[in-house]
């Protein structure tokens, strides 16, 4: 039995990844903060709901004890997908908002990796895929905290890949461009058209187009790929 844990799986990219991995035969453990949205998805995908704030290590550890470890003794694939954005000037940003972006997008990757790595190391195999952003590479005006968090995810990915490679564990990231999800729902139609015009392929990416890359990185076809940040942005940067 192959097991996968996906954070932020109730909609958008995380949900598309869950659906793709279900097709690949994984037993799924799906996370987000709201049980009312997670439960019906878990029923449809025959998955285990694991509801907690991924930015809190205490909450994550308690949820694993209650909802994961009673059923399986290891996770084969961890997808760190949970993320939030914050659009605004740095000087107007509240310190609490800074902390929330960093804990949700970056500290969560530490939290979940720390929980699954002992089982992976014991079995000398495992896979971690982190969902990053092109803004982690270029930086985005009005998204300083978000860009910093994703730059951190990229550095964490490269460093952890080196650290756990001797244990047969691979760690990679997918740096997404603009993907059509609720994260971009704040844009009006004209802003969406202008943004699409900045993309080589002339359109936003689809969630399935990220899920298929995660699927590839998790597969044996990618058995010699680790420590990489794979950019999937339709030629935006
Ligand atoms: N869409 C894009 O253009 C784009 C571009 C680059 C990178 N990305 C990255 O792709 C990932 C997914 O984004 P998306 O566009 O699919 O966003 P989305 O549609 O807003 O979905 C975000 C998911 O994360 C969950 N979530 C948020 N905060 C959480 C927390 N503290 N703990 C656990 N779950 C949490 C949400 O559920 P709850 O709110 O119920 O917790 C939801 O399931 C993020 O890491 C994002 O930064 C997206």
Using pLDDT thresholds of 50, 70 and 90, give the confidence band for residue 69. Answer: very high
Q: Specify burial of residue 195 (Cβ count, 10 A radius: 0-12, 13-18, 19+).
A: middle
Using pLDDT thresholds of 50, 70 and 90, give the confidence band for residue 202. Answer: very high
Nearest CA owner, ligand 1 atom 37: 32
- In short, whether 63's Cβ falls inside 6 Å of ligand 1 is no
- pLDDT for 159 equals 99
- Best of 97, 174, 183, 198 for a ligand 1 pocket test (most atoms within 8 Å of beta carbon): 183
**Average pLDDT for 73-86:** 98
Nearest CA owner, ligand 1 atom 7: 133
Nearest CA owner, ligand 1 atom 23: 8
Report the C-alpha gap between 194 and 190 in whole angstroms: 6
| Tokens of residue 221, six digits | 């076809």
Q: What percent of the chain has pLDDT over 70?
A: 100
Report the C-alpha gap between 29 and 222 in whole angstroms: 23
Among the listed residues 192, 156, 203, 208, the one whose alpha carbon sits nearest the alpha carbon of residue 12? 208
- pLDDT for 60 equals 99
- In short, whether 102's Cβ falls inside 6 Å of ligand 1 is no
Q: In this structure, what are the phi and psi dihedrals at residue 80, rounded to the nearest 5 degrees?
A: -90, 95
**Average pLDDT for 111-122:** 99
Report the C-alpha gap between 200 and 55 in whole angstroms: 34
**Average pLDDT for 69-90:** 98
Q: How far is CA 60 from CA 51, 82, 132, in A?
A: 9, 13, 20
- In short, whether 12's Cβ falls inside 6 Å of ligand 1 is yes
- Best of 7, 8, 78 for a ligand 1 pocket test (most atoms within 8 Å of beta carbon): 8
Nearest CA owner, ligand 1 atom 19: 12
Q: Could you list the active site residues?
A: 146
- In short, whether 154's Cβ falls inside 6 Å of ligand 1 is no
Could you state, in order of their start, the residue ranges of all structural domains in the chain?
3-232
Q: What percent of the chain has pLDDT over 90?
A: 100
If you measure from the C-alpha of residue 70 to the centroid of ligand 1, how many angstroms do you get, rounded to a whole number?
A: 27
Using pLDDT thresholds of 50, 70 and 90, give the confidence band for residue 49. Answer: very high
Using pLDDT thresholds of 50, 70 and 90, give the confidence band for residue 7. Answer: very high
Residue 215 and residue 157 in contact, taking contact as beta carbons nearer than 8 Å: no
- pLDDT for 62 equals 99
> CATH number of the domain at 3-232, out of 3.50.50.60, 3.40.50.720, 3.40.30.10, 3.40.50.300?
3.40.50.720
If you measure from the C-alpha of residue 160 to the centroid of ligand 1, how many angstroms do you get, rounded to a whole number?
A: 22
Among the listed residues 101, 123, 109, the one whose alpha carbon sits nearest the alpha carbon of residue 171? 109
Q: What is the CA radius of gyration of the chain?
A: 17
State the average pLDDT for the chain.
Answer: 98
What is the torsional sign of CA 163, 123, 16, 221?
Answer: positive
Using pLDDT thresholds of 50, 70 and 90, give the confidence band for residue 84. Answer: very high
């Amino acid at each position: 039995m192959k097991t996968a844990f996906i954070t932020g799986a109730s909609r958008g990219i995380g949900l598309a990844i869950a659906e793709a991995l279900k097709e690949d035969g994984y037993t799924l453990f799906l996370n987000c903060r709201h049980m009312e949205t997670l439960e019906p998805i878990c029923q449809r995908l025959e998955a285990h709901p694991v509801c907690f704030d991924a930015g809190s290590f205490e909450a994550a550890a308690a949820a694993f004890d209650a909802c994961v470890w009673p059923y399986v003794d290891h996770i084969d694939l961890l997808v760190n997908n949970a993320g939030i954005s914050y659009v605004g000037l740095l000087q107007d940003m509240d310190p609490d908002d800074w902390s929330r972006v960093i804990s949700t997008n970056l500290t969560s990757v530490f939290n979940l990796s720390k929980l699954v790595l002992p089982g992976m190391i014991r079995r000398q195999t495992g896979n971690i895929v982190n969902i990053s952003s092109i803004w982690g590479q270029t930086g985005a005006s009005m998204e300083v905290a978000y860009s910093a968090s994703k730059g951190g995810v990229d550095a964490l990915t490269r460093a952890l890949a080196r650290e756990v490679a001797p244990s047969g564990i691979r760690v990679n990231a997918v740096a997404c461009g603009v993907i059509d999800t609720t994260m971009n729902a704040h844009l009006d139609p004209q802003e969406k058209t202008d943004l699409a015009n900045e993309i080589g392929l002339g359109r936003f990416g689809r969630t399935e187009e990220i899920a298929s890359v995660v699927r590839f990185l998790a597969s044996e076809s990618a058995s010699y790929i680790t420590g990489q940040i794979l950019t999937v942005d339709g030629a935006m940067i």
